[in-house]
Structures are given as C-alpha cells and as structure tokens.
Amino acid sequence: DTEVTQTPKHLVMGMTNKKSLKCEQHMGHRAMYWYKQKAKKPPELMFVYSYEKLSINESVPSRFSPECPNSSLLNLHLHALQPEDSALYLCASSRPGTGAPNQPQHFGDGTRLSIL
Amino acid sequence: AQSVTQPDIHITVSEGASLELRCNYSYGATPYLFWYVQSPGQGLQLLLKYFSGDTLVQGIKGFEAEFKRSQSSFNLRKPSVHWSDAAEYFCAVGGDAGNMLTFGGGTRLMVKP
C-alpha cells in the first residue's frame, strides 16, 4: 500500500472541461511534487512545493495550475488540456532536502488522464 | 548538470537467474542515488538508496546495489529473480540543492518461466 494517495485513479475529459487531480500524504513531509509520465518514459518533473510554497515550476503550460492548500494536500487543476497532455500524473512527497541530505521521494500510484 | 544513463532498455532473464541492471551517473559532488521500481499501472516504489557510508546497500525485495565512485556507477543486483520482479526499473540521482531528482531512461525487465 502506498502512503501517498491520489484520486481519481482514472480520468477522461474533453478539451474544454475543468477538472482537478488530488494528492494526499500523512507522513509529515513538507515537500510535494507533480510529475508527468508518458508511456515507456521516466517521470518528468512539473512542480515542486516546499513548505506549501511553489518552489519549482518546470516551464509547465498555464493550463496546469497547482495548489497546495495545506501540508498534507496537493492539487493539480486542469483546464483546456490538449490530447498530448494524456499521461500518467504522479504525485510524490519527501522531507525537504535543503540543508540536509536529499531525501527519497515517495510516490502515489498516479492518475491516468485521457484527453478526448 | 546531473544526468543518469541506463544503458539497457530491455533485459530478459530466466526465473531463478541472477540479475544486474546498470546505472551510470554524472554529478559533480557526492551523489544521492536511488533505485525505483514501477509495475504496470502503478507508481514508483523505492527499492533502495545511497547517501554515504557503506558502498553496498541493501534494499527491499532482495535487491542490493553497489556504489562505485571510480566508475560513476550504481548497479542494481539480485541473486535470484522471481516472476513478480518483471517491471520497469529507474535509477535516479539527487543533488544537494533542493529536492531535484534526475531519472535515467529506465530498464524494462522481463522474466521467462
């Protein structure tokens, strides 16, 4: 069982829809991440939150909007997505690495997103 | 910039045989190294990590990895593979700055009965 929970597991949406992906962890981690993973490829980092503040945005299009309402929750709001955005979206969490050895990231099982 | 190379895209081994998955990294300082496994339809599970100290690290599911600084390698090994080990394996390197992970391209392991 994973300690990072993502909902929904699957999502099909049209290009004009608005939806949100959710991620929750109760390990006391203060760094949370969104990754995008295409088939047969490694995960690609999208966003990093550290202490509930956005610290890294890997030049992600504005149709993806992250939100970290508290230390346990991470959302990814989706709007006007394109077919090429179909992928597995993974959430991860870790202890913040700044000033300490880089801590391992713990991943959820992801949301499989399909854009029609 | 840090980078990770996994030279083998696919590997097929017989059940019960030994396994070694290769990982080479490029990083200017002391690397933090990780191996993750991903089964179909699932997220990434941490197998083991290396931060410092003993260069042979033990992980879950009977896996181990050896850090060799002179070869910039962190190869994953298992003495006897089980059919349930069939999955995608990712090597990753992290640095001191923040929490950035750089992943290798992955190695898909297939296990023959």
Q: What is the CATH number of the domain that holds B106?
A: 2.60.40.10
Minimal Cα–Cα distance from A41 to chain B, Å? Answer: 6
State mean pLDDT over B20-29. Answer: 91
What's the structural domain count of chain B? 1
* Predicted local distance difference test score (pLDDT) of residue B41: 84
Q: Which residue of B has its CA nearest to A10?
A: B41
What's the structural domain count of chain A? 1
| Mean pLDDT of chain B, nearest integer | 92
Residue A99 forms part of a structural domain: no
Domain that holds residue A69: 4-90
Residue A54 forms part of a structural domain: yes
* Confidence check: pLDDT of B8 > 60: yes
* Confidence check: pLDDT of B28 > 80: no
The verdict on whether omega for the bond into residue B7 sits within 30 degrees of 0, i.e. cis, is no
Asked which of A20-24, B40-44, B109-113 is least confident by mean pLDDT, the reply is B40-44
Cα-based torsion angle of the residue sequence A113, B2, B7, B13 in order, rounded to the nearest 10 degrees: -70
* Confidence check: pLDDT of A1 > 70: no
State mean pLDDT over B65-83. Answer: 96
* Predicted local distance difference test score (pLDDT) of residue A97: 55
Residue A17 forms part of a structural domain: yes
Residue found by looking up tokens 């608005």 in the block: A18
Q: Which residue of B has its CA nearest to A98?
A: B98
Interface-testing mutation among A27, A102, A105, with chain B (most B C-beta atoms within 10 A): A102
Residue A62 forms part of a structural domain: yes
Residue A96 forms part of a structural domain: no
Domain that holds residue B98: 3-112
Residue A101 forms part of a structural domain: no
Residue A106 forms part of a structural domain: no
* Predicted local distance difference test score (pLDDT) of residue A56: 87
Contacts of A43 in chain B (CB under 8 A): 44, 90, 103
CB-closest option in A55, A98, A105 to B101: A105
* Confidence check: pLDDT of A104 > 80: yes
Question: In sequence order, which residues have a C-beta less than 8 Å from that of residue B38 and are 6 or more positions away?
Answer: B44, B45, B87, B88, B89, B90, B106
Phi, psi of B34 (to 5 degrees): -140, 150
CATH number where A64 lies? 2.60.40.10
